Amino acid sequence: MHIEHLSHWSGHPNREMYLNRYGHSGIPVVVFASSGGSHNEYYDFGMIDACTSFIEEGRVQFFTLSSVDGESWLATWKNAHDQAEMHRAYERYVIEEAIPFIKHKNRLV
């Protein structure tokens, strides 16, 4: 199975962001970690293994994104405004950086 471990600096949450790509072709599926999870979580919980045949056949590929939950909603030391600001920065990262990157990887631009 084709696996890529990728990272890049994002100006939106102002930090290094990580994502994994499982598969070489097929319908791109974006996967978000559960609350407080990481971009490796989907693999660690066996979900990639459960979909191996679809991935290897090139029918589907998964892009697992890192989260900023620990710096937004789970950051109980922050006030609600600052938590929401970090979540908004993550939302902008997903919309303005991650999705265009995935489209580029799949020549869907």
Residue 109 has pLDDT above 60, yes or no: no
Burial class (CB in 10 A: 0-12, 13-18, 19+), 5: exposed
Nearest alpha carbon to residue 68 among 48, 43, 88: 88
C-alpha span between 27 and 11 (Å, rounded): 28
- Amino acid, single-letter form, for residue 88: R
pLDDT tens per residue, range 53-92: 999 999 999 999 999 999 999 999 999 999 999 999 999 9
35: three-class secondary structure by DSSP: coil
Q: How far is CA 30 from the centre of its chain?
A: 6
Domains (ranges, CATH) in the chain? 3-105 (3.40.50.1820)
pTM over 0.75, yes/no? yes
Mean pLDDT score of the chain = 94
pLDDT of res. 34: 86
